[in-house]
């Protein structure tokens, strides 16, 4: 009987520690995966001519023109500048735009698809904003 209680305690302990370990690993959302891939594409294909430490405006504009216009068009980031408040607002806007594109069943061009972006916006990006 003692062995049964001891075994039960061992099993419970193992289950509890397994739950803690599983919680430690954070699953990436679809948006996070998309954002990482898309920003890499923007960095390489659209903003590749700009040094990485100076390309924040270009990458942000490439990622989503709509959100860039809302938060950075009037006052673009200066080289090396980080504005946590605007970055959070921009991220929230991009996340909402991603959700809207994900639900798009009409087949319309989605501004978050790089091919659509390049076709519609590449000639319109002023060089001074890159």
Alpha carbon distance 93, 71 (integer Å): 9
Q: Quick: pLDDT tens for 92-116.
A: 999 998 888 877 755 566 766 655 5
Most confident of 24-28, 82-86, 100-104, 109-113: 82-86
Alpha carbon distance 125, 130 (integer Å): 7
Whether this prediction's pTM lies above 0.85 is answered by no
Collect all residues with Cβ–Cβ distance below 8 Å to 103 and sequence separation of at least 6.
Answer: none
Q: What is the CA radius of gyration of the chain?
A: 22
Q: Measured between alpha carbons, how far is residue 128 from residues 84, 106, 115 in Å?
A: 23, 35, 23
């Amino acid at each position: 009987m003692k062995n049964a209680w001891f075994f039960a305690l061992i099993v419970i302990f193992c289950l509890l520690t397994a739950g803690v370990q599983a919680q430690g690993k954070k699953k990436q959302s679809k948006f996070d995966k998309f954002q990482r891939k898309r920003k890499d594409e923007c960095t390489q294909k659209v903003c590749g001519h700009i040094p990485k430490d100076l390309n924040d405006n270009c990458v942000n504009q490439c990622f989503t023109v709509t959100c860039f216009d809302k938060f950075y068009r009037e006052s673009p980031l200066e080289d090396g500048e980080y504005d946590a408040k605007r970055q959070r607002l921009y991220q929230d806007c991009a996340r909402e735009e991603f959700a809207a594109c994900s639900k798009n069943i009409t087949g319309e061009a989605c501004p978050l698809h790089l091919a659509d972006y390049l076709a519609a916006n590449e000639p319109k990006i002023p060089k001074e904003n890159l």
